[in-house]
Amino acid sequence: MSPKSRIPAASDPGDTWVPRPRRRETPLGILGHTATFLGASVLGGVLVAGLILPAAGAVGLGAKNGVEGFESIPDDFKTPPLSQATQIFDAGGGLIAKVYERDRTVISADQMSPLIRTAQVDIEDARFYEHGAVDLKGVLRAITKNAESGAAVQGASTLTQQYVKNVNVEKAGDDADAVREAQRKTLGRKIQELRYAIKLEEDLTKEQILTNYLNITFYGHQAYGIQAASQRYFGKDAKDLSLPEAAMLAGLVQNPSQYDPKLHPVAAQKRRDTVIDKMVENKHITADQAREAKAAPLGLNYQDPRNGCITAQAGMGFFCDYVRHVVKQDPAFGKSAAERKRLWDTGGLNIYTTLDPEKQAAAQKAVSTKVYVTDPVSAAMTMVEPGSGKILAMAQTRPYGLAKEKNETVVNYNVDAAMGGGIGFQPGSNFKPIVAAAALEAGLPSTQRYDSPNRMDWPTMRTCDGTWKNLSKGKKEGTIPNESASEVGPYELKQAMALSVNTYFVQMEQEIGLCAVKQMANKLGVAGKADGSPLSEVPGLGLGTEEVTPLTMANVYATFAARGTYCAPLAINRITTVGGTDVPVPQARCTPAMSEDTADVINSVLLGVTEKGGTARDLGLDDRRQIAGKTGTTDEKKSAWFTGYTGNLAGSVWLGSPGTKVPMRNIRIGGTYQAEVFGATGPGPIWQKAMSDAVRNMPEKDFTTVYIPDPVRRDPNCTTSSGSPGSVTCTGAPATGSPTNGGRPRGVNPAPGRTGSPVPPGATDPEDQ
């Protein structure tokens, strides 16, 4: 990368006074031109200070010239906050990606080889330690050389002046107009550069100026500063540079394109040897050392620039991008969006994340082997640690990238739109445990029974501010069915969850009200839809009509595993600057979402889903440890889910088509034909494979469960009452051991002023197996 507008200026042979071409001058003529040049400089106020003041510093120019503000220079100009590379690591210390506006790592003088410091001075400004901000001898020499040749063949800028110019270019950032302005050869710019150079020589030592120069200078191929350059061309730290390596890098500064060792190795070697000769001339190395260095090949160990999340391996690009959104949005990193953006853009951070490399590998392997990238559908999976909210894995079938022809995408299907995701997906019956938790918190027992007919009209339901009413009663769109004709109640909670009986949860939702369901969802981290809009208070809410993401659902179920303690998602463990200073990071934010008793009942009920008779009965892990979970399949099989967990790890898998909403019937996925996809047959095996690998080295941790009596067989003497909706009346004695109806439905007292239309077609979940 070497467009001229982006290359900080270094030794610039054209950046000096340029006489018109003329015939070769006599010594007297040269002297005349020198006088002319000096006169013009005095009139312009450009070099008068450097020429009449002592070479050591030119103190007091501001007072003599009356230039306002000359006595001070901004602190951020002396040592500007240079844009640096940020490195993002997984929980094991492995590098996920390096991201940068400019690939630079600022280092101290003692982290630089003395050879590079010497070589850079010898080739750029051999009298650096002898003169002040302006080198009088250098100016006169340049005038003479340029006058003799009739062209600008030699510059007179000191290393300090070059540093000032580079700071101006750095401050311009990616603003092309500002960069051009910083590099323009104008009288005003020269005056400012000179003023700043003189003041820098007063305020900083020569060693500090040289260190700053070596950290800011551009060396080509996106490498800014000597550390990045050392890594780019030789794959080593700047402190370990050999003599020929240091000479080659020092020679690059004048023109990184012309002396590019990859594209122009002959020119690069010739320039390297010129630097070596300069080091001999200045008596910094011996003739024997020079001969040995010149005999050495360039010895490149070139490392391609690897910038951004797109370079992350093992499917970690999406998590990397999620981290970027966290830094730019979380107030922990700055009070304003501008502050947070500046922190990210300036870089220089080491970000140590929560991502577990073993679990990430397990999740990525599962989503990419069970679903091919060329399939018409895709899969995404997130794993979360219960009790901390730490994101341990984030994977999806489609790779992170911009090549659509390779089925790449930069949309993270695991997260909300605000965090780099899309609009989410309907979770279907994955949402039903939230309804159950709200009901238990409202006082309903674990044996709650409803008549659960095979099909029913959507009932009137209370909302937070009124009532929802079914305006299409008696019509197909105004009803909700169960999966099959055989699913006819009554059912109790344990059996209804295991079989995923739609009408049971609709009746439960009716009894406790939509507001209770919405409030429980909010407590569990479902603050709204994935696109940022609020949850709609419609009956389909409890059956999973509101679009969410795998991260959201994994965290919901992690809350159950943590006995009701909800922890906000956490992606970052620690951040330090390259200098080792800690940067404050978001801390775990955990709150009780429900009582432990409620969570224990939910765990017991969801345990039943994975046991004999449940929809997820075939999804046991390799080591047969205790698991719980819930399937989910939306209308027309456009999305399928399985979210499950052990006592110490929760994972959620979504399967579907993010764009065209492909119905998953008569479809080949991962090389296997499926007549129709259900939560247990599509995403379920992905979850099973990923979790089996992920927990292999984890201790077993069982849930705290409670005893819930198995529902009794249906008593023919029990019929649906004509009273409160969903209640069951038995005309004869119940069967032996049968629990009585665990709670009398309280019905609905409609509040005025709130009506609604039936839930849209995608609302029902009649095919959840």
CA dihedral 246, 252, 254, 260 (to 10 degrees): 170
Report the DSSP pairing between strands 455-457 and 479-481. Answer: antiparallel
Nearest to residue 493, comparing CAs of 558, 445, 455, 539? 445
- Indicate the pLDDT class of residue 715, thresholds 50, 70 and 90: low
Predicted confidence band of residue 286 (pLDDT cuts 50, 70, 90): very high
Tell me the range of 15-29, 78-92, 132-146, 308-322 where mean pLDDT is highest: 308-322
Number of C-beta neighbours around residue 526 at 10 A: 23
Instruction: Look at residue 748 in the predicted model and tell me its pLDDT.
Output: 29
What pLDDT is stored for residue 687 in this prediction?
A: 98
Nearest 5°: the CA angle 354, 355, 357 is: 135
Is 235's pLDDT higher than 60?
yes
The token pair that represents 590 in the structure block: 């955990």
- What is the full DSSP assignment across 595-638? -HHHHHHHHHHHHHHTSTTSTTTT---TT----EEEEEE-GGGS
pLDDT for position 132: 86
Given this model, what pLDDT does residue 252 score?
97
Give the pLDDT of residue 140.
63
The C-alpha atoms of residue 348 and residue 576 are separated, in whole angstroms, by 9
Residue 68 has pLDDT above 50, yes or no: no
Output phi, psi for 642, to 5 deg.
-145, 125
Structure tokens, 348:
């220089």
Mean of pLDDT values over 179-193? 75
pLDDT at residue 694 tops 80 = yes
Whether the upstream peptide bond of residue 490 has omega within 30° of 0, thus cis, is yes
Measured at the CA of 610, the angle between CA 609 and CA 614, to 5 degrees, comes to 50
- Coil, helix or strand at residue 667: strand
Residue 477, CA distances (Å) to 458, 481, 538, 662 in order = 9, 10, 14, 22
Taking only the tens place, the pLDDT of each residue in 73-111 is: 776 677 778 889 999 999 999 999 999 888 999 999 999
CA atoms within 13 A on the CB side of 189: 19
Q: Which two tokens stand for residue 83?
A: 């844009």
* DSSP assigned state of 80: -
Note the pLDDT of residue 48.
41
Q: Distance (Å, rounded) from C-alpha 667 to C-alpha 680?
A: 16
CB-based contact 190:197 (threshold 8 Å): no
Of 8-22, 236-250, 600-614, the range with the lowest mean pLDDT is 8-22
Q: Token pair for residue 142?
A: 């340049």
Q: How far is CA 580 from CA 78, 107, 110, 331, 346, in A?
A: 21, 12, 16, 22, 16
Q: How far apart are CA 311 and CA 301, in angstroms?
A: 19
Q: Give the confidence band of 713 by pLDDT, cuts at 50, 70, 90.
A: low
pLDDT at 240 exceeding the cut of 80: yes
According to DSSP, the β-strands at 349-353 and 86-89 are parallel
The pLDDT value given to residue 754: 31
Terminal CA-CA length for the chain: 55
pLDDT at position 64, please? Answer: 40
What is the pLDDT at residue 96? Answer: 96
**Rounded percentage of the chain residues whose pLDDT exceeds 70:** 80
Give the integer Cα–Cα distance in Å for 72 and 573. 41
Distance of alpha carbon 329 from alpha carbon 150, whole angstroms: 58
Q: Are 622 and 699 a contacting pair, CB within 8 Å?
A: no
pLDDT category at 769 given cuts 50, 70, 90 is very low
Name, in order, each residue with C-beta under 8 angstroms of 505's C-beta and a sequence gap of 6 or more: 432, 435, 436, 496, 542, 543
Q: What are 432-486's pLDDT values in tens digits? A: 999 999 999 999 999 999 999 999 999 999 999 999 999 888 888 899 999 888 8
One-letter identity of residue 302: Y
How far apart, in whole angstroms, are the C-alpha atoms of residue 196 and residue 48? 14
Nearest to 650 by CA among 556, 587, 769, 768: 556
Give the pLDDT mean for 345-360: 94
pLDDT the model gives residue 537: 95
- Under DSSP, is residue 180 helix (H, G, I), strand (E, B) or coil? helix
What's the half-sphere exposure (Cβ side, CA atoms, 13 Å) at 511?
A: 28
Q: Which residues pair with 668 in a beta bridge?
A: 673
With a CB cutoff of 8 Å and minimum separation 6, the contacts of 493 are 436, 446, 447, 448, 504, 605, 708
pLDDT above 90 as % of the chain = 65
Q: Kindly report which listed range (186-190, 231-235, 551-555, 585-589) carries the lowest average pLDDT score.
A: 186-190
- The Cα-based distances of 694 to 224, 366, 552 in angstroms read 40, 11, 20
Average pLDDT, the chain: 83
pLDDT above 50: residue 737: no
User: Which 3 state secondary structure label does DSSP give 534?
Assistant: coil
Mean pLDDT of 177-191: 75
What pLDDT sits at residue 755? 34
113 closest CA partner among 280, 201, 234, 268: 234
Q: Which helix (H) or strand (E) holds 590?
A: strand 590-592
Q: Is the pLDDT of residue 6 over 70?
A: no
103, 279, 634, 645, 689 from 692: Cα distances, Å: 40, 63, 26, 11, 5
Helices (H) and strands (E) in the chain, counts: 24, 22
